């Protein structure tokens, strides 16, 4: 949630810079904020859910049933996050 709010703050800062017409320095700052938003989007949607699943598994390690339930979720989230980060999404022709 906090990571998503940081992404929203980046977008709001870009809008504020463009509305203020701060000049060419604002364009450089807006480019940096846009790059920050893109990285936050990547990590918030792919990497952090996998980390949360692993942490839930560690907390549930006291109860073996909870750890066994969290393990497939953690494996799936981690493998999906690595796949999407390394290979990216496939682009479908004609769409």
Of 55, 45, 54, nearest to 81 by C-alpha is: 45
Contact 85, 68 (CB under 8 A): no
Confidence (pTM): 0.45
pLDDT tens sequence across 12-62: 887 877 777 767 777 778 888 888 887 777 777 777 777 777 777 677 666
Res 94: pLDDT: 65
Number of DSSP helices (H) and strands (E) in the chain, helices first:
4, 0
The pLDDT confidence band at residue 95, using thresholds 50, 70 and 90, is low
**pLDDT for 1 beyond 60:** no
For the chain, domain boundaries: 2-86
């Amino acid at each position: 949630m906090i990571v998503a709010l940081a992404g929203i703050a980046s977008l709001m800062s870009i809008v504020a810079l463009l509305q203020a017409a701060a000049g060419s320095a604002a364009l450089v700052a807006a480019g940096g904020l846009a790059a920050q938003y893109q990285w936050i989007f990547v990590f918030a949607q792919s990497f952090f859910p996998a980390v949360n699943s692993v942490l839930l598994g560690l907390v549930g390690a006291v109860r073996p049933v909870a750890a066994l339930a969290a393990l497939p979720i953690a494996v799936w989230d981690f493998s999906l996050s690595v796949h999407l980060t390394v290979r990216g999404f496939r682009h479908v022709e004609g769409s």
